[in-house]
Amino acid sequence: MKFTYAVPAGLLAASILFTGCASNNNSNSNTSNNNSTNAAANSTTATNTSDTTAATTADFTSAVEQYRTYVIEQCDEFVKQTENFTNAVKEAKIEDAKALYAPARMYYERIEPIAEALGDLDPNIDARENDVDAAEWRGFHKLEKALWQDNTTKDMTEVADQLLKDAQLLRAKVETVEIDANLLVTGAVELLNEVSSSKVTGEEERYSHTDLYDFVANVEGAQKIYELLKPELAKKDAELEKTIGERFTALQAELAPFKSGDGYVSYEALKEEDVRKLSQNLDALAEPLSNMGTILGV
């Protein structure tokens, strides 16, 4: 004979409630454990990403400081040579002034991007006729016109004095001008653009025809920047670094035959074929150089 037991309603309800709570606790515990695991995984991923980024981000501190040192050295010589040039102008020593004109400008042309970053200093020092209002025109090219076209230094004392003051102001400001990797890269490209837009065309030195001095100095300034960035560029794209280096060498070799003593021949001495070859080598260099910033991430 089977016995049948009746379970009280209150006990049954308590049993159901207890079972439900236990199930929920297990579910919450699993969810909590899963969340902890995911958080740990996300943290590890973030750490790895951060480490990778840190490992691949280039440090340009050394390059920037070396460039500032280079700029200061060029400025020191620029002020000295400009003073020699302006003294010759004020003393009406026309032939001496002509001989000093282009070599003094080379120190400026190597670091022109810095001057361009300092407000009106570049036009004050380097503006050509018609680049600015006639009443505001001053600097090297105004003296160039007086020496080569007018063949006189009459009324040029004030212009000469102001040019020296502007050169000295540039020297003072380069101590604190903000320089970063982006300025270096854009500066190198701008220097080559300067060559292609005004030097290779013969427009820059329209009276003295000393364009090759400027041409060479711009290239040297761009090459200095490339050399400072070369170690980091080689890490990221060795082929691009090699290409840029080879094309700088090719352009320098193309310029070498036009050297004359410590200077360069008149731009008027170049034949059409010479100008064409220089332009080709310049274009061949400008294209890979313009990619340097993208590769370096600046």
CATH number at 168 reads: 1.20.1420.20
Spatial distance between the Cα atoms of 257 and 245, rounded to a whole number of angstroms: 20
Instruction: Give the long-range contacts of residues 194-203, CB within 8 A, separation 24 or more.
Output: 194/109, 194/112, 194/218, 195/219, 195/282, 196/279, 196/282, 196/283, 196/286, 200/275, 200/278, 200/279, 200/282, 202/267, 202/268, 203/128
Q: Is residue 42 part of a domain?
A: no
Phi then psi dihedrals of residue 117, to 5 deg: -85, 0
Q: Is residue 108 part of a domain?
A: yes
Phi then psi dihedrals of residue 263, to 5 deg: -130, -145
Spatial distance between the Cα atoms of 137 and 257, rounded to a whole number of angstroms: 35
Looking at residue 18, its pLDDT comes to 36
Q: Is residue 79 part of a domain?
A: yes
Q: Is residue 162 part of a domain?
A: yes
Domain residues for the domain of 67 are: 60-296
Q: Is residue 100 part of a domain?
A: yes
Residue spans of the chain under pLDDT 70: 1-57
Looking at residue 116, its pLDDT comes to 86
Spatial distance between the Cα atoms of 110 and 102, rounded to a whole number of angstroms: 13
Q: Is residue 25 part of a domain?
A: no
Spatial distance between the Cα atoms of 71 and 87, rounded to a whole number of angstroms: 24
- Per-residue b/e over 272-296, b at no fewer than 16 CB within 10 Å? eeeeeebeebbeebbebbebbbebb
Q: Are 230 and 184 in contact (CB under 8 A)?
A: no
**In terms of Cα–Cα distance, which of 119, 156, 120, 154 is closest to 140?**
156
Q: Is residue 77 part of a domain?
A: yes
Q: Is residue 17 part of a domain?
A: no
Residues in the chain, how many? 298
Q: What percent of the chain has pLDDT over 70?
A: 81
Looking at residue 57, its pLDDT comes to 60
As for how many domains the chain has, the answer is: 1
Give the CA count within 13 Å in the CB-facing half-sphere of 254.
24
**In terms of Cα–Cα distance, which of 132, 133, 135, 140 is closest to 105?**
140
Alpha helices by DSSP H, 91-139: 94-110, 112-116, 121-126
